[in-house]
Amino acid sequence: MLDDDREQFRGDARRRLLLVGGCLGAGFLVLGGRLFHLQVMRGGEYRTLAEDNRISLKPIFAPRGRIFDRENRALVENSPDFEVVVVPELAGSLRMLFKRLSRHIDLSEEEIKHLLQQARRQRSFLPLRVKSHLSWEEVSSIEVRIHEFPGLDLQSQSVRYYPYDALACHILGYLGEPSDGDRKRLSRITFRSGDLVGKSGVEQHFEELLRGREGVLEMEVNAVGRHVRELHRNPPESGEDLRLSIDFDLQKEAQEAMGEETGSVVAMDPNTGEILAMVSTPSYNPNQFIRGFTHAQWQALSTDPDRPLINKAHQGQYPPGSTFKIVVALAGLATGKLDPKEQVHCGGFLLKEEQRFYCWRRHGHGSVNLIQALTQSCDVFFYKLAERLGIDAIERQAHKMGLGGVTGVDLDSERAGLIPSRAWKRKMFKASWYPGETLITGIGQGYVLTTPLQLASMIATVANGGTVYRPSLLKLEPGQVPDVMVRNHFSAHHLELLRQGLEAVVHDPTGTAAKARPEGGIRVAGKTGTSQVARHRREKSGQIIKSTNEKLQDHALFVCYAPLDRPKIAVSVIVEHGGHGGSAAAPVAKRVMDRYFTKYGSGA
């Protein structure tokens, strides 16, 4: 019996040993197979992953192209700057890191919150820009403690710098963080955290030229992310430099001439369309967009009723007032409906359908011909001429002068202005055109809207004999041909009659722009304008009841070109709520022309 028990025990033990051995054998077989798969079958893949883990790719930012004036004076440069970045996957807790870092640099709770949001939106192995424009003290404080901040790095790069602050700010523009619209518009560009993009001016319009191509630095790092050595460097490519048509001295003079007034000045070469000066006031300092705003500063700038962020030269739309009489006069001559010798009586108003249409001079101008009507800016003369022409003829002539459409200048978001017509009114208001609307259109009021840039182009077209050039902010290189938008074939006789009237505006004792006469006896052709902001209230005698509200005062305008016989410069000025063009806008144009002729002379 005992022997049987022993034999059974031995059999059970053998079975158990075989089972355990089988399990162990199967386990070793599985383990060997897995090792074979990892080391042999996928060994190359994991070697590549290990190699990638020890290589850190660091972007090398490319400097933006610089911007110069026509004489190669730098209007926009790049200056050295220090920033601190972090690679999130190497940093551990970002919130804790930022909290500790805030003891050494100015980093608010709101900024920390924004950084954490940015980190969630991008890949963890990409560097996140924490703070730019560090002071030397901040750089030193971080540098000696860099080992306490895993994943943190100090970088040196160049930042945008506008050496003349607000000068030409609306031309140059400013930089800001890319919006969704920017990313869509510039889909070929890969934006990183902290990148800036042109938001207005030539910075925006020529973004893809000014923006360089970033380089890459491959660095070997150890297990904690510390740099060991440089493996490879792919250098960045700087953006292209731009040479503008702007003349620094003229731009400065125009801006100073405007002083505290709100409005715009545009000066251009009538023979090429090159813009020599473009001022919009009030202005702003584009450097502030690089340094950053406080909430109060941004609120003050963005809610200012005078709209300092808007370039009024190509985005501000104003009734042209009496400067539009140039268009109406040419339309009358071209259609044969105006005899330049014809005398028209002005008694201070025109009665039409029991409504009085007043002249600016309450007692009238008496009998005047075309040249006298231009000289003295007689409204009644142009009421009658507009009535004779009809709105369709006026509209056609205005479009020939480049009004009512974008000029094509090298700036985004240009406004087209408005030249009304019967079809336009039917479409907009589903209403008929009234005869009285033609009359007020004849003096540049009613629905008519123009930009200061369009008015500069209009007077330049008169100056050069009929060619509407595309206004350009880039300096034309030798042999480069300017772009022609419209080539009119105005009668030389008609242009001569117009020039006589425009010359008399400035130089005749009865003219409205004596304050525009430049130094040195240079002859100027010009036209004043006054555009109503609100309808005037009048006494029974016709006398205007002046409002004490400054924002309801008329805008003052002036357009001109000089010298008369061989034009070199065309200027348009608008002073918002300035009153009369001859007293408020003409002196600004005079300063610009004086500076031009002092610098370049009046010869060929």
Angle at 136 (CA atoms; ends 130, 138), nearest 5 degrees? 45
What's the rounded Cα separation, in Å, for the pair 292 and 348?
A: 56
Within a 13 Å sphere around the CA of 103, how many CA atoms are in the beta-carbon half?
Answer: 7
Smallest CA-to-CA distance from 438 within 404, 380, 364, 388 is with 388
CB 213 within 8 A of CB 230: no
CB 87 within 8 A of CB 97: no
Cis peptide before 420 (omega within 30 of 0): no
Smallest CA-to-CA distance from 576 within 374, 319, 322, 358 is with 319
Q: Which of 132, 280, 322, 472 is catalytic?
A: 322
What's the rounded Cα separation, in Å, for the pair 438 and 457?
A: 24
491 annotated active-site: no
Helix (H, G, I), strand (E, B) or coil at 511: coil
3-state secondary structure string across 551-600 = HHCCEEEEEEEECCCCCCEEEEEEECCCCCHHHHHHHHHHHHHHHHHHHH
What's the rounded Cα separation, in Å, for the pair 111 and 321?
A: 50
For 25, the token pair is 């054998």
CB 346 within 8 A of CB 368: yes
**Strand blocks (E) in 51-196:** 55-60, 67-68, 74-86, 128-131, 152-161, 175-176
For 265, the token pair is 């000045």
Helices 379-389 and 325-335: crossing angle, nearest 10°? Answer: 50
CB 512 within 8 A of CB 505: yes
Return the exposure string of 104-142: e unless at least 16 CB atoms fall within 10 Å of the residue's CB, then b: bbebeeebbeebeeebeeeeeeebbbbbbebeeebbeeb
What's the rounded Cα separation, in Å, for the pair 502 and 377?
A: 10
CB 412 within 8 A of CB 319: no
Phi-psi region of 521 (alpha: psi -120 to 50; beta: other; left: phi over 0): left
Match 């060929």 to its residue by tokens: 604
Return the percent helix, strand and coil in the chain, to nearest 5: 40, 20, 40
Residue type, 252: K
CB 274 within 8 A of CB 460: no
Angle at 530 (CA atoms; ends 528, 532), nearest 5 degrees? 165
Supply the residues annotated as catalytic. Answer: 322
